[in-house]
Amino acid sequence: MTEKYIDLHVHSNASDGSMRPAEILELANNLNLSAVALTDHDTVSGIPEFMERGRNLPIHTIPGVEISAALQSNEVHIVGLFIDYNSKSLNELLFRIREDRDRRNISMISKLRSLGYEISIDEVLAIAGGETVGRPHFAQILMQKGYFSDVRDVFDNCLKRGAPAYCVRKIPKPEEVISEIHKAGGLAIWAHPVYKRSNPRPYVRQTLRKLKDMGIDGVECYYSSYSPEQQKMMLDITSDFNLLKSGGSDFHGQNQPSVSLGTGTGSLQVPESIYFELEAKVKERNKAEV
């Protein structure tokens, strides 16, 4: 029997991906993936279309969301899986986060224009299309206008932390994010812990101690940019902390063309057993709360 694989970290055009939620599932079906989670940044607006399309496909569809949180001087990303996307309190948190994004975006427009870049908020909103408008949408406009040749150039010169047009945004603390995901019946997963870190082991262990005390359920042990050594490290550390394992590509479609659905940068393989372990935990928790 052929082993099946899954992808539990995927973005649509409801945030900063390029594909509609239904198109992602059609692609997943063609790739023979057995489970996919839609985890857009700070919005659940793509989930109704995602779940509706999934009803007619042989794929487990998981409603999710990705939320940034401030942990002291670091920013951590937390993915919520199996959430009730109609949760009132979760949606209130997401609305508050998007409002602050909107304020940040206006400030970035002002900074970019002062640097000589002709860009307007209406152009950014038009290209974004979805509820969550972020820096990748700014990058698209600046590239279309010929100021830069690729996304990395835009971020390095204008938009990354410390660059001239960067603006800080207010984000919640991890304990609030984890609590809201739990209230919505979901699992809270620490996303890509070793992303862009050269010596991640001490950071991961120290941060995971704090997040476990706050109620984190699991960790992304499989991710597009992990080396084989980093993947093994994450699997070992997650087992040491007795937490659930998760994984995904962080797919954004053409907005990140080097990352493919399911396989990431080419070698990602998140086993189907991961989905069943997560699903079992959700059912166990929901049964205990009845």
State pLDDT tens for residues 197-239: 667 899 999 999 999 999 999 999 999 999 999 999 999 999 9
Provide the number of structural domains found in the chain.
1
Task: Determine, yes or no, domain membership for 173.
Answer: no
How far, in Å, CA of 161 to CA of 171, rounded? 15
Q: What is the pLDDT of residue 290?
A: 60
How sure is the predictor about 196, in pLDDT bands with cuts at 50, 70 and 90?
low
Which H/E stretch holds residue 219? strand 218-223
Is 113 part of any domain? no
Q: Is residue 249 part of a domain?
A: yes
The tokens describing 167, both together, are 């603006």
- Smallest CA-to-CA distance from 244 within 270, 225, 267 is with 270
Report yes or no on 98 lying in a domain.
Answer: no
137 in a domain, yes or no?
A: no
* CATH number, domain containing residue 74: 3.20.20.140
**Per-residue confidence (pLDDT) for residue 275, from 0 to 100:** 98
User: Which pairing describes strands 270-271 and 187-191: parallel, antiparallel, or unpaired?
Assistant: unpaired
> Among 9-13, 61-65, 162-166, 277-281, which is the least confidently predicted range?
162-166
Amino acid identity for residue 217 in this structure: D
Over residues 85-113, mean pLDDT:
94
3-state helix/strand/coil string of 44-104: CCCHHHHHHHHCCCCCEEEEEEEEEEEECCEEEEEEEECCCCCCHHHHHHHHHHHHHHHHH
Residue 288: pLDDT over 90: no
Tell whether 118 is covered by a domain: no
Measured CA to CA in angstroms, residue 161 lies from 116, 189, 230 at distances of 19, 24, 25
Share above pLDDT 70 across residues of the chain, in percent, rounded to a whole number: 98
**Within-domain flag for 92:** no
- Distance from C-alpha of 231 to C-alpha of 265, rounded to nearest angstrom: 14
Hey, is 148 helix, strand or coil? coil
Residue 106 belongs to a domain: no
Listed range (1-5, 189-193, 269-273) with the worst mean pLDDT: 1-5
Please give the pLDDT value at position 197: 64
Domain that holds residue 26: 5-87+186-289
Residue 6 buriedness (CB in 10 A; 0-12 / 13-18 / 19+): buried
